[in-house]
Structure 1
Amino acid sequence: MKTAGIRYVSGRLAMAAALLGGLSLAVYVGVDLLPGDPASARLGPGVTPEQAAQARERLGLEEPLGQRYLDWAGGLLRGDLGTSANGTPVSDLLTDRLGNTAVIAGLTVLLLVPASLALGVALGRRAGTRLDGAGSAALLLTVAVPEFVVASVLALTVAGQLGWLPAASLVPAGEHPLAHPEVLILPVLSLFLVSLAYASRVIRAQTATALRAPHVEFMRLNGLPERAILRQAVLPAILPSAVQIWLISAAGLIGGTVLVEMVYSYPGIGKLLVTSVDSGDLPVVQALAMIMGALTLLATVAADLIADSTGRTRSA
């Protein structure tokens, strides 16, 4: 049984590695097709055609696309993300910004897990009531609103009209975002509200289904209190699905942070990605797209592993 489980996990990991390889090819080719010339971006707007041609040759941009991809992919395996158009190693540009993005994404997940579990279970226990209808409608409405719209509304109301918090989440150079918690509240809240709505709806549905199970009814007939039923029967049934949702939500935050960071001028990967696309700094765009895609893929594979292992355990 253990050998079969190891083989299963190994197979899924091998599939994830193959998908990462395919993702790297799609990212490199897709970004390479974007408008912009890394050589011209590196030399500035006053570059002559001769200087651009020399720079392209020096950077290896005249090489066939396949060879350039293999060189780039080989660098990724060695931990080399390439060199930006300004001559700075891409890894140096990303270090602080990835950390800043990880702060707001991590805080969002820390709030999301207990809040979505509590709200989802509370609504699921009251399925079919007016409270459940009103709560589910509010969650559905929130899910339909993109993160940047929520961020814009919060910036206009909480920061602009009420003046409770800064509208721009600026972090002084060289300082950690946690040293300025006031600039984190609105970005985290924007991501949290949308993620909470999606996760709570799924957990609510799982809770309502679990409470209708025959063994739960048997426990009620035997006089067990509702808290004991929740602890012994409902939570074990919904937690695997809840963990899946939390992982998928965390993966979705990777894309959501880009838009929210732009709204609040937060110094994360979002602003760097947009400015790199505008300036044609393709090595930075390729590195960011690969990192974001890989994190999303790995989170999705982890969620699938949890779902499949839970199903295998139940069937056994």
Structure 2
Amino acid sequence: MSLTADMPMVPPPRSPATENVKTRRRFALGRFVLRRLFAAVITLLFISALIFLATNVLPGDVAQSVLGKNGTPERVALLREQLDLNRPLVSQYVGWLGGMAHGELGRSAVALAQNNADTSVWNLIRTPLMNSVTLSGIAAVLLLPLTLLLGTLAGTSAGKPVDYGISYTALVIGSLPEFVLGTFLILIFFSQLNLLPPVALVPIGASPFGDPSALILPTMTLLGVSLALCLRQVRAGTIETVRQDYVVAARLGGIRERRVLLRYVLRNSLAPSVQAYAQTVQYLFGGIIVVEVLFSYPGIGNALVQAVQTRDTTLVAAIALIIAVFFILINIVADLTVVLLVPKLRTGTM
């Protein structure tokens, strides 16, 4: 037996140049994250000011509007005091923002007017918020593999009937407004086939998964209207990637087509699609209002509509700010994902 065969394999030592490059990339990535977080805080402060102004400078007295015909001068004065409406607008904003920083979203004007025991905005929107996160989360989780599968299939079959069928079908479905597509699905699966319920009612305190069939039509509606954008991005990225020299060389080298698609094509075509996917996820949460109203789903969209109708400004501001925070977080995650997927971006020029 040779001496070399018994010797353990020792990896070659890393050169100082390689270590320096990795260190610079780590520092560059850290600076990038800090810059994005700082920009997110500034953006959120600006958005919070706009939301507060938009919900508090409308004509008319909020307390009088909420109380309606029952608004005696004494009750109006009491409600104004409870909502801190007698303070200057700047003082109200600072107090509201300080409460937000400590997790206090304020008190509901409608709940105060009705003398409810629980007037906390967070307690009022916690369950609708979780219902919306559940519905949009299911759609987002299903959207990713569906987009990758159909987009890659269309991109690798560019110019063929498969490509035309997938692309045009997604374009037609994605061009329909939410209420049109949802109504069409109700007509088919409830009126004609009697397979699925037309509404997604969830009892108070119950989980949306208590009746999974009620989530199918809202999820299909969200997937239909959001699929086209992501699919086009994945398709375009796939078409561009399969023409690259390294993909052609991998195929000529005898590497299996499945490995070529997973290791070379999919990863490199995914990076340009991350931003499109992020925008779609933002829509799934922020644009879910129409779908929730159409299917009577007790989510944050329905809560926002009811708050606007009753002019519960504290509730409206809290929901709007939560949606803004969600949008900002999705953008940060998308930017960081792109940087992690594309190694050349992790340099000192970030």
- TM-score above 0.5: yes
Contact preservation (8 Å) 2:179, 2:291:
yes
Q: Does 1:278 align with 2:302?
A: no
Matched, 1:116 2:140: no
Unaligned runs of 5+ in 2: 1-23, 113-118
Give distance in 2, aligned partners of 1:262 and 1:307.
Answer: 35
Code of the aligned partner of 1:268: G
Separation in structure 1 between the aligned mates of residue 210 and residue 34 of structure 2, nearest angstrom: 42
Q: Identical aligned pairs, as a percentage?
A: 37
Residue 155 of structure 1 corresponds to which residue in structure 2? 186
Q: Which whole-Å CA distance do the structure 2 matches of 1:211 and 1:201 have between them?
A: 16
Aligned counterparts of 2:213 and 2:260: Cα–Cα separation in 1: 41
Query: Compared with structure 1, are the counterparts of its residues 37 and 176 closer, same or farther at alpha carbon in structure 2 (3 Å cutoff)?
Result: farther
Q: How many Å separate the matches in 2 of 1:302 and 1:24?
A: 21
Q: 1:92 aligns with which of 95, 120, 123?
A: 123
Query: Which structure has the greater CA radius of gyration?
Result: 2
> Does the CA contact (< 8 Å) of 1:112 and 1:196 recur in 2?
yes
Match of 2:87 in 1: 63
Aligned to 1:75: 99
1:44 positional shift: 4.3
User: Which deviations, in whole Å up to 9, do the C-alpha atoms of 1:257-313 show, x marking residues without a partner?
Assistant: 111000010111111110110111111100000001110122123212333454563
Is the 2:218–2:295 contact (alpha carbons within 8 Å) kept by the matching residues of 1? yes
Q: Tell me, yes or no, if the aligned pair for 1:248 and 1:303 is still in contact at 8 Å.
A: no
Cα distance in 2 between the residues matched to 1:128 and 1:229: 20
SS of equivalent to 1:60? coil
Q: 1:259 aligns with which of 287, 290, 293?
A: 290
Instruction: Work out whether residues 41 and 281 of structure 1, in 8 Å CA contact, stay in contact via their aligned partners in 2.
Output: no
Deviates more, 1:3-12 or 1:154-163: 154-163
Deviates more, 1:38-47 or 1:14-23: 38-47
CA contact (8 A) 1:244 1:306 kept: no
Task: Give the letter aligned to residue 298 of structure 1.
Answer: L
SS at match of 1:128: coil
1:225 matches 2:249: no
Aligned to 2:238: 207
Question: 8 Å contact 1:35–1:280 — kept in the other structure?
Answer: no
Tell me the number of residue pairs that the alignment of Structure 1 and Structure 2 aligns.
316
Cα deviations by residue, 1:200-239 (Å, 9 ceiling, x for unpaired): 1111111111001111122223233322211221022023
Q: Deviation digits for residues 40-88 of structure 1, max 9, x if unmatched? A: 3553432134532443244221222211111100000000000001131
Indicate yes or no: 2:330 matched with 1:306.
no
1:247 aligned onto 2:278: yes
Structure 2 match to 1:235: 266
Q: Tell me, in whole angstroms, the C-alpha distance in 2 between the residues paired with 1:187 and 1:314.
A: 38
Q: 1:33 to 1:259 in 2, by over 3 A?
A: farther
Letter in 2 for 1:81: L
Gap runs ≥5 in structure 1? none
- The AA in structure 1 aligned to 2:247 is V
TM-score (norm 2): 0.84
Aligned-residue offset at 1:36? 5.9
Match of 2:3 in 1: none
Shift of 1:181: 0.7
Q: Is the 8 A contact 1:37 1:281 kept in 2?
A: no
- The one-letter code matched in structure 1 to 2:136 is A
- CA shift digits 1:106-132 (9 cap, x unpaired): 111121111111000000000112321
- The reply on whether 1:30 has 2:45 as its aligned counterpart is no
1:219 counterpart SS class: helix
Conserved? CA contact 1:199–1:245, under 8 Å: yes
3-state SS of 1:45 partner = helix
Amino acid at match of 1:27: I
TM-score by length of 1: 0.93
Aligned twin of 1:19? 43
Determine helix, strand or coil for the equivalent of 1:304.
Answer: helix
Aligned to 2:31: 7
- Which residue pairs with 1:186 in the alignment? 217
Contact preservation (8 Å) 1:206, 1:238: yes
- Farther-moved stretch of structure 1 (49-58 vs 213-222): 49-58
1:48 equivalent to 2:79? Answer no
> Residues 141-192 of structure 1, C-alpha deviation per residue, up to 9 Å, x if partnerless?
2222222321122123322333211111111222111011111111111111
